[in-house]
Structure 1
Amino acid sequence: MKQVILTGDRPTGRLHVGHYAGSLRERVKLQNSGSFDEIYIMIADAQALTDNAEHPEKVRQNIMQVALDYLSCGIDPEKSTIFIQSMVPQLTELSFYYMNLVTVSRLQRNPTVKSEIQMRNFEASIPVGFFCYPISQAADITAFGATAVPAGEDQMPMIEQCREIVHKFNAVYGETLTEPQIILPENASCCRLPGIDGKAKMSKSLGNCIYLSDEPKEIERKVMSMFTDPNHIKVSDPGRVEGNPVFLYLDAFCEPEDFSQFLPEYSSLQELKEHYQRGGLGDIKVKRFLSQVLQSRLQPIYQRRKEWEQRLPEVYEMLYQGSMAARERAEQTLEAVRHAMKIDYFTQSSLLQ
């Protein structure tokens, strides 16, 4: 069986360090591993429209921003097919068929859907398109025969629902669809970074993000404003590292060599944590170290983005060619689905059989 990756992001704005730590860094690693036959990376504009229907121009503008972030992070169009979701109409037809395999109560129980509805204040008026998000995502994944989906921990309920749809379809119509597995970041701290304000989730709408395209001075400003342990008032006070955003970010991004370069009085992150916990280490010093670490990690990404911004026609052509290739692959799955359901009516006179 071919080993295939499908992953992607909603173009609701520039991508941030949560995206990078949670999945982008892993995607680049997997892309370059040589372990996968095909890699599809989707800019999910149709899904973004489920809660931006009145502002499609925002989604349109952000498609190029996400593409630039992909390229600057190291996604290689020679190895990965980057495409725009709405340019692959087969995904819509697959979603339509899958809707008959999922109950309303099952969608209501999906933890990711419930949390997203709450975050967007949709409790009283949930758009149907948004409510059916897990079904649409299942269509995206199965259309390309994906065996693996690199994603953050918050996407686990969505992948599980996709697997349920695959099981149901194959049980009713015969073995047709491929069951995917989620690939989580190896570093557990990367699964879900909090916002710089300490909120549980980094979100563009909350304004608590550090973006991959932020300039070094902006990164420093945001890091120095980060929420820490509210009880760590004086330098001499013992501090808490569990749940402390500054230390969670260090867990996700800090490497052993960063200490010799930026903070030579410490030999490891564990030693830094222990000093903070017993008191005598101020937040400013830890934040300054985090700022240097982040700038070191993000500087190459920032530079590559500036280079790609001068080559926008090439980015546009890459998106077009990727979308056409994705459409061709999705059509193969759609034909197999229609055949399994016996609704390929005019294929080889099937109505006469």
Structure 2
Amino acid sequence: MTRPVILTGDRTTGPLHIGHYAGSLKNRLSFQDSHRQFLLLADTQALTDNADDIGKVRRNVLEVALDYLAVGIDPAKTTICLQSHLPALAELSMLYLNFVTVARLERNPTIKDEIRARGFGRDIPAGFLCYPAAQAADITGFKATVVPVGEDQAPLIEQTNEIVRRINTAAGREVLPEARAVIPKAGRLPGIDGKAKMSKSGGNAIALSASPDEISAAVRAMYTDPGHLRVSDPGKVEGNVVFTYLDAFDEDQDEVARLKEHYRQGGLGDAVVKRRLEDILQALLAPIRARRAEYATDLAEVTRIVAEGTQQAREVTEATKREVMDALGVFRL
């Protein structure tokens, strides 16, 4: 039987962190054997708000690829490809912009939130505003029917499906499939400082390549309950980053539940739960860090893996582009 197609990826703006691992990378590993998976190094998307630092985007293409390989992404099972080297995606993006209005783009909740977070005001880069059409091109270019995203990204999948329906209506038949968003149970991890979003640029993340000392320092600095001043004081679990991370990474959830109850009643110090979390993160990241270091000794091989995957992806996306153009009746030489 034909395996369902899945598309996912990351902006190449910096190395990946444990939030990426909990939110998407673990799922991608599990999808490798059951799906035809394409993993997009989204350097073109990264330029929508980093055009003033193209060097950063370029440098991080291989950094993100290294993280993929380090966590166990197998290029024999998952196609790793570079967005900027897939011209069919850019052509489909331009085409799709004729099937969506500026007002609809501006109403997209994800785009509205990101515009507000970045403080663009009305000085919104056109590429950023048009990102939903570009993502629709990414998804449909591979004819993906499964797209793992965070809950905040679900409106983008909804808008992709709106564009798909308009294309199919214009063509008079189903040319493109609709996609289903897969939202991870872990949800988005907060930063170690307790802020809502863990980010590479915010300095509140733990990189997958973090050293033992960096992991230890990050756990020690984690936001807990500011009202939990003494060990004997009852503490709050809600909003406590240490417990949020234990929920995401500790395999013994019965013990986590017991620790939460103890913490709420009082008599359990932050140092104890932080020590447990540090041990878990050290064990998780040590093999990832070692594999990453090994791959990093041969960047030519990493580049070859990306180039080979990109060639495979180019053939797939070019075929989709031709099919969409023909279905819409675009003149063909």
Normalised by the shorter chain, which TM-score bucket? over 0.9
Question: Residues 212 and 302 of structure 1 are in contact (CA less than 8 Å); yes or no, is this contact kept in structure 2?
Answer: yes
Q: For 1:233-244, what aligned pairs fall within 5 Å after superposition?
A: 233-244=229-240
Following superposition, the deviation at residue 204 of structure 1 comes to 1.6
1:193 maps to which residue?
189
Amino-acid identity (%): 55
- The answer to whether 1:255 aligns with 2:251 is yes
- The answer to whether 1:26 aligns with 2:27 is yes
1:60 maps to which residue?
58
2:288 maps to which residue?
301
Question: Residues 81 and 322 of structure 1 are in contact (CA less than 8 Å); yes or no, is this contact kept in structure 2?
Answer: yes
Aligned pair partner of 2:160 in 155, 158, 162: 162
Following superposition, the deviation at residue 124 of structure 1 comes to 3.2
1:351 maps to which residue?
none
Q: Tell me the alpha carbon deviations over residues 38-78 of structure 1, each in whole angstroms, 9 at most, x when there is no partner.
A: 21100000000011111111100000100000000110000
Residue identity in the other structure for 1:22: G
Aligned length: 331
Q: What SS is found at the alignment partner of 1:280? A: coil
- The answer to whether 1:125 aligns with 2:123 is yes
Q: How far apart are the structure 2 equivalents of 1:54 and 1:110?
A: 25
1:245 maps to which residue?
241
1:212 maps to which residue?
208
Q: What SS is found at the alignment partner of 1:210? A: coil
Question: Residues 31 and 37 of structure 2 are in contact (CA less than 8 Å); yes or no, is this contact kept in structure 1?
Answer: no
Residue identity in the other structure for 1:179: E
- The answer to whether 1:178 aligns with 2:174 is no
1:4 maps to which residue?
5
- The answer to whether 1:93 aligns with 2:91 is yes
Q: CA RMSD in A?
A: 1.2
Q: How far apart are the structure 1 equivalents of 2:34 and 2:177?
A: 18
- The answer to whether 1:282 aligns with 2:280 is no
Following superposition, the deviation at residue 100 of structure 1 comes to 1.1
Q: How far apart are the structure 1 equivalents of 2:89 and 2:281?
A: 37
Question: Residues 192 and 204 of structure 2 are in contact (CA less than 8 Å); yes or no, is this contact kept in structure 1?
Answer: yes
Gap runs ≥5 in structure 1: 258-266, 347-353
Question: Residues 223 and 291 of structure 1 are in contact (CA less than 8 Å); yes or no, is this contact kept in structure 2?
Answer: yes
Q: How far apart are the structure 2 equivalents of 1:341 and 1:314?
A: 41
Following superposition, the deviation at residue 288 of structure 1 comes to 1.4
Residue range with higher mean Cα deviation, 149-158 or 69-78: 149-158
1:231 maps to which residue?
227
Q: How far apart are the structure 2 equivalents of 1:11 and 1:52?
A: 10
TM-score, normalising length from structure 2?
A: 0.97
Question: Residues 164 and 178 of structure 2 are in contact (CA less than 8 Å); yes or no, is this contact kept in structure 1?
Answer: yes
Q: For 1:33-112, what aligned pairs fall within 5 Å after superposition?
A: 34-36=33-35, 38-112=36-110
Where in structure 1 do 4 or more consecutive aligned residues deviate above 3 Å?
none
1:337 maps to which residue?
324
Aligned pair partner of 2:279 in 279, 292, 296: 292
Q: How far apart are the structure 1 equivalents of 2:169 and 2:142?
A: 20
Aligned pair partner of 2:300 in 313, 317, 332: 313
Question: Residues 246 and 290 of structure 1 are in contact (CA less than 8 Å); yes or no, is this contact kept in structure 2?
Answer: yes
Q: How far apart are the structure 2 equivalents of 1:209 and 1:115?
A: 21
Question: Residues 192 and 201 of structure 1 are in contact (CA less than 8 Å); yes or no, is this contact kept in structure 2?
Answer: yes
Question: Residues 210 and 289 of structure 2 are in contact (CA less than 8 Å); yes or no, is this contact kept in structure 1?
Answer: yes
Residue identity in the other structure for 1:77: P
Q: What SS is found at the alignment partner of 1:67? A: helix
Question: Residues 335 and 344 of structure 1 are in contact (CA less than 8 Å); yes or no, is this contact kept in structure 2?
Answer: no
Residue identity in the other structure for 2:179: P
Q: How far apart are the structure 2 equivalents of 1:215 and 1:252?
A: 20
Following superposition, the deviation at residue 345 of structure 1 comes to 2.6
